[in-house]
Each structure stands twice: as C-alpha cells, then as structure tokens.
Amino acid sequence: MADAKVIPFDDDRARGNVQRPAGQRSGRRRTTAGAGGGRRGRAEPAAVRAAGEADGREAVVPGQASGVEPPAGAAPAPRPAQRPDAGGGWEQRLASGLAFLRRRVTGEYEVDEFGYDEELTDQVLMTLLRPMYEKYFRVEVKGVENIPADGGALVVANHSGTLPLDGLMMQVAVHDNHPAQRHLRLLAADLVFVLPVVNELARKAGHTLACAEDAERLLRRGEVVGVMPEGFKGIGKPFGDRYKLQRFGRGGFVSTALRAGAPIVPCSIVGAEEIYPMIGNAKTLARVLGLPYFPMTPTFPWLGPLGAVPLPTKWTIQFGEPIPTDGYPAEAAEDPMLMFNLTDQVREQIQHTLYKLLVQRRSVFF
C-alpha cells in the first residue's frame, strides 16, 4: 500500500485524488429503477397489513365503520387479537426485510452524490453498530438537543482510540438520541477511501473526504457534519497523552462553518482513549505498510486477532452549547485572527468538558 497521506481539512487542492463511484459525481440524488419499473408502492398483502399496524392505525372490524359507536344493548364487536410485540412483531420485521431485499435486488433504492445510502445505513449498518453502542460500550449521551432540529450544523469532536470507533459511536448517538433522528455525515481522511471494502462501506454510511469543499456543500444542504480536527495526531497518540487535545490544524473547519453560516457544536467523548491503550508505535512497520502508525498495546500484536478486541470501557458523549457563526460578515472566513480565536474557543470548550467528565467518572469500565 502506498504511504498514507493526510489531507488538511482546509486544503481543497488535494480533493481530486479520490474518485467518487461511477454515476455519483453529480446530482442531488440518484434512483435506479428495477424490473418493477420504479414503482416502490407495490407490496405484498402481508407487508401492507404489517405496515398499517406499525403506523398505529386502528383496525376496522368488518361490518362496523371506524369511530362509530355500536347501538345500545348490542354486543360489542370483536376486536383483532393484539400481537405480543405491539411495537413491531415478527410479521412486520419479516415483511420489512423482504421488501428491503426486493429493493436491493431490483435497484429501487437511492444514493446521493457522495454515495450515501440512507436506507442501508438505517436498516443494516446502524443495526450492526447498535449492540456495540448499547451493550459493549454502554454509551451515555448528554446535550444532544444542542444539535439543531433542522438546517446545517458542524459537530467538532476530540479523536482517540487507535481505531476510529469514536466517530461511529458518535454517529449512532446522534441518530438514536436526537428528537429528529438526524444523520451525522462524518468527514474522514483519505486513507479510509483507499482501503478495500472500508471505502465502499464508508461512503454508504455517509462519510466523505475531509476537505472544505465537500463539508461546505453538505452544510449548505442542511446536513449535520462531523469533523475531528486532531486527525491521526489524536487517534494515534500514546496512552500517556490520553485526553490531552492535540493541535486543531489551521482552523479550516471554522472557515467552512463561517462560509455556510452553520453553528459549531463542540463534542467531548470520554471512554474511547482506553479501548486500545497504545504503549508503543512500530514506525518502521508502519512505513512499510503505508500506515500513519502501527500501534502496540498490552494485547496487540502479542495475542494475534484476539488482541484486536477493544476493551469494554464505559463511554460518555456530551454535545456542548452551539457557537453561532451566522452573525459574521461574509469576509470573516478570510480573517486569520477570527479563525484562530474561534478555533481556540472550540478546543478549550472540548478540553474543559473532557476534564469535567473525567472528574465525574467513577471508573473506566463502570
């Protein structure tokens, strides 16, 4: 593998190094119609019945109109049996799964110009990540209401953990806890998009290259965008420097937020630092493999694949008060002093919250 190159967030010139999948370079959304001629409303009768029950519509008993009281003295009309799982039984899940597979086979699903597949993310990728989020790391989320219910917003978080699991857990936290179930579109380094399989999954999950051009387009479209300005410096730092924020670059994320007029939401993540305690870095091996670092932990590589299992730490993700940017003039995005001040403000807010959460934490694992 060629040497990994870190693209600065505010360097648009490197944008052309990563090619988008064919057919996804332009246009708001793309729909591919399959054998059904693109008619997505046709479903099996069982699926229709299950969908009706899931929507909460009251079943109409034959011979009696919905909402009409029976005559006085008449025996009440029989009501349909209640399923054990009122929120969605096996019939609904089976019908939904079959409909999902049919759309996948016939091509009746949508992706946007970045390759984001919302249906696949909701029904498959989130489902795979949720057990780790809920049961393994037992993530506690605070302040998610600070993310706007609509419109663009830039979530800026600390980065740690040797492997970028913190970004994935933050993505689940926003989707599952925000009242509007908003989707977080993460900005990732170019290394993600040159790895086989990972490249395709990342694009399907809504990730895109960490450059100002794509970030601004997403923000102007009203998306919630997530960025971790520490990059490899944060995720690959030694265990002795845990919870000490690294440099936030040259403030490219602030410039992008100013251009789009989107608020900046600081985010602090506690728990990710301890999943892979990095006690060493095999730099020579990292250069041979084209990686920014090759971690050595108490279990990896000594225990082989078993050493790659993360430790089950207890996580807390807190979203801070948003910092508005829509009150600045258009030329503010070119003011280096303003960008420096706002970058320092965001960094200090994240660092202060990290220290506060660490003081409140009873244990790394509980």
Most confident range, picked from 166-170, 192-196, 362-366: 166-170
* Mean pLDDT of the residues in the chain: 81
What digits encode the pLDDT tens for the residues 2-30? 444 433 444 443 444 444 444 443 344 44
Task: Name the residue among 175, 159, 287, 284 with its Cα closest to residue 231.
Answer: 159
Task: Provide the domain count of the chain.
Answer: 2
> Which pLDDT tens digit goes with each residue over 263-314?
999 999 999 999 999 999 999 999 999 999 999 999 999 999 999 999 999 9
Residue with the larger pLDDT of the pair 79 and 348? 348
Asked if residue 157 has pLDDT above 90, the reply is: yes
Residues 226 and 125 in one domain: yes
Q: Does residue 65 belong to any structural domain of this protein? A: no
Higher model confidence: residue 52 or residue 321?
321
Same domain, 142 and 86: no
Kindly state whether residues 176 and 269 are assigned to the same domain.
yes
149 in a domain, yes or no?
yes
Average pLDDT over residues 200-206: 95
C-beta separation of 241 from 284 below 8 A: no
Residues 350 and 245 sit within 8 Å (Cβ to Cβ): yes
| Three-state DSSP class for residue 270 | strand
Rounded to whole angstroms, the Cα distance separating 278 from 328 reads 42
201 with 142, same domain?
A: yes
- Does 38 reside within a domain? no
Better-scored residue on pLDDT, 204 or 77: 204
Domain housing 160 = 114-275+310-360
| CATH number of the structural domain spanning residue 172 | 3.40.1130.10
What number is the average pLDDT over the span 241-257? 91
- For residues 347 and 31, the model is more confident at 347
Q: Mean per-residue pLDDT for 111-123?
A: 93
Residue 303 lies in a domain: no
Spatial separation of the C-alpha atoms in residues 166 and 235, rounded to whole Å: 9
315-357 pLDDT, tens digit each? 999 999 999 999 999 889 999 999 999 999 999 999 999 999 9
Highest mean pLDDT among 97-111, 139-153, 243-257: 139-153
Query: Poorest-confidence range of 136-145, 159-168, 248-257, 314-323?
Result: 248-257
pLDDT exceeds cutoff 70 at 62: no
Residue 88 pLDDT grade (very low, low, confident, very high; cuts 50, 70, 90): low
Residues 267 and 123 in one domain: yes
Nearest to 215 by CA among 1, 30, 5, 10: 10
234 falls within a domain: yes
What average pLDDT does the segment 68-87 reach?
Answer: 42
pLDDT score of 208 more than 50: yes
Q: Which of 87-96, 153-162, 185-194, 306-315 has the lowest mean pLDDT?
A: 87-96
* 96 and 229 fall within a common domain: no
Nearest to residue 125, comparing CAs of 166, 171, 163? 171
Same domain, 162 and 88: no
In a domain, 125, yes or no: yes
In a domain, 202, yes or no: yes
Task: Judge if 219 and 87 occupy the same domain.
Answer: no
Does one domain contain both 101 and 212? no
Q: How do beta strands 153-157 and 224-227 pair?
A: parallel
161 and 128 part of one domain: yes
Q: Is the pLDDT of residue 153 over 70?
A: yes
Q: What average pLDDT does range 158-187 have in this prediction?
A: 96
Report whether 173 contacts 144 (CB < 8 A): yes
Q: How far apart are CA 296 and CA 77, in angstroms?
A: 69
- Per-residue pLDDT at 90: 85
pLDDT at residue 128 is higher than 90? yes
Pair 212, 86 in one domain = no
Answer yes or no: do 120 and 99 share one domain.
no
- Any domain includes 238: yes
What's the CA angle centered on 171, arms 169 and 172, to 5 degrees? 65
